[in-house]
Amino acid sequence: MEENSLLNFPNSTEFNKRIPKQKFYENIAVTPAMKRAFVEQIRTIYWRNKIATTTLNLAAGEQVTEIEVFEMRLSAPKLDESVLRQIDREIPYHILFLLEYEGKYRAVIGYKEAAAGKTVFKVDRYYSTDWLDEDDLPVHLDGLSLDAVYENFVRQIAGGALTDENGTTLKESIEQQKQREQLEKQIAVLEAKIRKEKQPRKKFEMVQKLNGMKGEQERKK
């Protein structure tokens, strides 16, 4: 069995088992493209760590019961997000993915919520670091409960993409990010319309609206 102490997590959390990648697409209804992504993009998958009340002195979480750490060694520096979603669908726990390619690592984590009880999950979106040396990954155990550890993993990996104001929950931070992204899209659409508009009066009205939207954008930062 190949050993690895990725991220210097405590020895008590080490699991170090190789998972056949076929587990995620054989005997499961997946598209040919999905199967091809698993075959062509992934070399090996290792279940490196299990972060749970049984492996660490942590309080049980209301939303998070375990966090699994999967190391995925890639054949190329790109991995389709659909592959991560497929794995997240099949594993009824929260997962921290460590992607490896030619000695560099990316940490990836999805904002994963229970959709039906605690057995079915949906992933809203994924957050990722850049490709870094393992020692430079901004991921560390922080928190007294599994909920807190998971939230901190998401915030560490998301970096500046998520606001971290006092009292703001992770869900609220993600909703605020969505609102900022939606507003950015609306501003871009309106700016394109202004560039094409020929009538001065209509153009003036659109610029006024744009200024109001940009003011809202500043307040949401």
pLDDT, residue 123, reads 85
Long-range CB pairs of 166-173 (<8 Å, 24+ gap) are 170/111
Average pLDDT over residues 191-204: 86
pLDDT grade for 2, boundaries at 50, 70 and 90: very low
Q: Is the Cα dihedral 51, 79, 182, 164 positive or negative?
A: positive
pLDDT, residue 165, reads 66
Of 151, 167, 165, nearest to 109 (Cα)? 151
> In the predicted model, is pLDDT for residue 136 greater than 90?
yes
More confident residue, 116 or 62: 62
Interval 90-102: pLDDT, tens = 888 999 999 999 9
pLDDT, residue 220, reads 67
pLDDT, residue 3, reads 41
